[in-house]
Amino acid sequence: MFYCGIDVAKRKHAVAVLDERGQARKAVFETENTQAGMDTLLGVLKDLGGEIAIGLEATGHYWLSLYDVLTKHGYPVTVINPLQIAAYRKSGLRKLKNDRTDAIWIADFLRIANLPASSRDIPSIMQLRELTRFRFWLSEQIGDCKRKLLTILDRVFPEYEKLFSSVFVTSSRALLQEAVSAQDFAEFDLRELTNVLHKASRSRFGAEKAQQIQEKARQSIGVGFLADAARLEMSCLLAQLELLDEQQVELDQAIETLMNTIPQHITSIPGVGLPTGAAILAEIGDVHRFENVDKLVAFAGIDASVHESGQFKGTQMHMSKRGSPYLRLAIWQAASMSVLHNEELKAYYHKKRAEGKAHGVAIGAVCRKLLIRIYVIIQQNRPYVVRELAPANP
C-alpha cells in the first residue's frame, strides 16, 4: 500500500510517496501543472505497482484538473481541507515548511487518518458550486441595478415609489420605459397613459390610476433639469435589469437540472427552496469531511465568538463569520424563510424573541438549529421529518 501526497500549486505540484510504515518510497519531486506534467505523474504512479491512495489539498481551484485526471484513470483521491494538514503539521517536531515537506505531511496524514476517497459526486457538486456562486453574484448585480434605478427616481420623481406595491412590477416598468421625471408624467397624454397602464397590468389599472399618477407628478418636488439625463440612465438600467432577470431564470433552470442528478433531501425541509438548497449542498460538499456538526457550524461561520483579554470577558456573543461566506448567506436566507414555513423553527424563533432577543440574534439561533438538521439529513441521506409541536400549556 502506498500513500501519495500532493501539495497543489498554480504552476508546479510537489509529490511525495510513502509506504505503509511512513518511509519515503521515492524522493519528493515536482511535476508541472500541464498535460506533460500529468503524464509524468501518471507514469510514476503506474511504476509503483500495488494499491495507491492519493491525497491532495483543496487549494483554490488548482486541484480540480489534477483530481479530474487522477479519477479518470481510476485512482482513489481524497480531497483534504488545508486546515487539517496545518493542524497535523503542528503536531510534528520539524518546523520546516515548504512545498516539498507539505507533500510529505499530506501523504503521512492520509496514511495515519485512513481517510476514505472523496465522494464521487464531486464533479456534480463542483458544477453546482460554480452555478450557485455565480447566482449570488448575479443577484448582487440585480440588487445594485435596482438601487441605482431608485436613486434616479428619488431625484426626478421621489413620489413615484409609493404609487405601486413595487417600482419593479411589470406595469411600473412599462411606464418607466415611456416616462421618468415628474415633468414627463405631468405632460403625458392621459388617454395614452391609461392605455399603457391598462395593457401592462392586464386590465388591473386604468384611468383612475393614471389620474393618480399625474396628480402626484404635478405636485412633485422632483428636479426638472435632470430629466434628460434620467431618461437615458433609466433606459439603460431597465434594459440591464431585463437581461439580468432572464439570465437568472436560465441559471435557475440549469441548477434545477443539475440538482435532479444529485441524490439529495435538503429541499424536503419546509422553507428551503431549490436555489438556496443547492447553494447549501454545494458549499458543504462531502459532509463526511466534518467530524461532527460543530465543525460544520464553524465552517459556516455561525458559531459564537466571545472577546476576552486578560481579566476582561465579553458578555455579548457574535457570529464568528469565519469559513464560507456563501454557506453563511444561504443558511441565513433559508432560516429567514423557515420561520415563515416551518412550524417548529417558527416556534423556536418566537421563543427567542419572547426572551428579548433581537430579530437578527433570533434568526442566528435558527440558523444553527437548521444547519444541525441539514447535517443529519445529508449524513443519513433521508428526507426531513416534520416534528409535531407539543401542545401549549392552557
d(CA 394, CA 391): 9
Residue 302 has pLDDT above 90, yes or no: no
Residue 278 has pLDDT above 50, yes or no: yes
> Is domain 127-256 annotated with CATH 1.10.287.4070?
yes
273 in helix, strand or coil? coil
**C-beta of residue 128 within 8 angstroms of C-beta of residue 259:** yes
For residue 308, the model assigns a pLDDT of 44
Owner of C-alpha cell 505523474 = 41
| Listed range (10-24, 42-56, 318-332) with the worst mean pLDDT | 318-332
In this structure, what C-alpha cell is assigned to residue 164?
405601486
- 140-198: per-residue pLDDT in tens? 999 999 999 999 999 999 999 999 999 999 999 999 999 999 999 999 999 999 999 99
With residues binned 3-state (H G I as helix, E B as strand, rest as coil), the percentages for the chain, rounded to 5, are: 60, 10, 30
138: pLDDT confidence band, cut at 50, 70 and 90?
A: very high
For residue 309, the model assigns a pLDDT of 43
**C-beta of residue 305 within 8 angstroms of C-beta of residue 364:** no
For residue 120, the model assigns a pLDDT of 64
Mean pLDDT value across residues 204-216: 94
**C-beta of residue 53 within 8 angstroms of C-beta of residue 2:** yes
For residue 82, the model assigns a pLDDT of 78
For residue 238, the model assigns a pLDDT of 96
pTM summary value: 0.75
- 56-97: per-residue pLDDT in tens? 987 777 888 888 899 889 999 988 877 778 878 776 644 445
Contacts 24+ apart (CB under 8 A), 207-212: 209/163, 212/163
Q: CA–CA distance from 21 to each of 25, 112, 121, 200, 361 (Å)?
A: 10, 10, 31, 75, 51
For residue 306, the model assigns a pLDDT of 42
- 240-276: per-residue pLDDT in tens? 999 999 999 999 999 999 999 888 899 999 989 999 9
For residue 320, the model assigns a pLDDT of 59
d(CA 299, CA 324): 6
**C-beta of residue 249 within 8 angstroms of C-beta of residue 230:** no
Residue extents of the structural domains in the chain:
2-118, 127-256, 266-380
Q: CA–CA distance from 209 to each of 38, 193, 354 (Å)?
A: 68, 9, 42
- 332-377: per-residue pLDDT in tens? 999 999 999 999 999 999 999 999 999 999 999 999 999 999 999 9
Residue 99 has pLDDT above 80, yes or no: no
For residue 92, the model assigns a pLDDT of 61
Strand pairing class (318-319; 304-305):
antiparallel
For residue 44, the model assigns a pLDDT of 92
For residue 212, the model assigns a pLDDT of 95
Q: Report the mean per-residue pLDDT for the chain.
A: 87
Regarding predicted confidence, which is higher, 115 or 272?
A: 272
314: pLDDT confidence band, cut at 50, 70 and 90?
A: very low
Mean pLDDT value across residues 218-238: 95
Q: 2-118 has which CATH code?
A: 3.30.420.40
